Amino acid sequence: MISVVVPVFNSGKSLAELYARLVPVLDRCGDSWEIIMVDDASRDDSYSVMESTHQSDPRVKLIRLAHNAGQHNATLCGLRHSQGGYIVTIDDDLQHPPEEIPVLLEKIQSGYDVVFGIPREKHHQVYRNWGSRLIDNLVNAIFPRAAGIRRSSFRIMTRELLDRMLAQVRTPVYMAALILTHARRPGEVEVKHQPRQYGRSNYNIGKTLLMTRNLLINYSCLPWKWVALLWGLWLLAAWRWLPIGPANFPVTPAAPVIVGGMGLILDLVTLWLGWEYGRRWRRSKQPQPEPYVISNIEL
pLDDT for position 279: 84
What is the pLDDT, as a whole number, of residue 27? 94
Backbone angles phi, psi at 72, to 5 degrees: -65, -40
Please tell me the predicted confidence (pLDDT) of residue 30. 81
Q: Is the peptide bond preceding residue 144 cis, with omega within 30 degrees of 0?
A: no
Task: Choose among 190, 110, 92, 112: nearest CA to 156.
Answer: 112
298: helix, coil or strand? Answer: strand
User: 173: part of which helix (H) or strand (E)?
Assistant: none
Q: Mind listing the pLDDT tens digit of every residue in the chain (299 residues)?
A: 999 999 999 999 999 999 999 999 999 998 899 999 999 999 999 999 999 999 999 999 999 999 999 999 999 999 999 999 999 999 999 999 999 999 999 999 999 999 999 987 765 454 455 656 767 777 777 777 776 788 889 999 999 999 999 998 888 888 998 999 999 999 999 998 887 776 666 666 777 777 788 888 888 888 888 899 988 988 887 777 666 545 544 455 666 677 778 888 888 999 999 998 888 888 877 777 889 999 999 98
Q: What is residue 125's predicted lDDT score, i.e. its pLDDT? A: 53
Taking the CB of residue 138, how many other CB atoms lie within 10 A of it?
19
181-202 as b/e: b if 16+ CB within 10 A:
bbbeebbbbebebeeeebeeee
* pLDDT attached to residue 127: 47
Q: What is the pLDDT of residue 6?
A: 97
CA distances (Å), origin 77, targets 83, 290, 291 = 13, 9, 9
Q: Which residue intervals of the chain are DSSP H helices?
A: 15-29, 46-56, 71-80, 101-108, 126-142, 159-167, 175-182, 205-219, 222-241, 255-285
How high is the pLDDT of residue 142? Answer: 78
Of 153, 163, 185, residue with least CA distance to 83: 163
Beta pairing class for 114-119 and 294-298: unpaired
* Residue pair 217/276 in contact by the 8 Å Cβ criterion: yes
Contacts of 212 (CB under 8 A, 6+ apart): 134, 135, 138
CA atoms of 291 and 299, how far apart (whole Å): 20
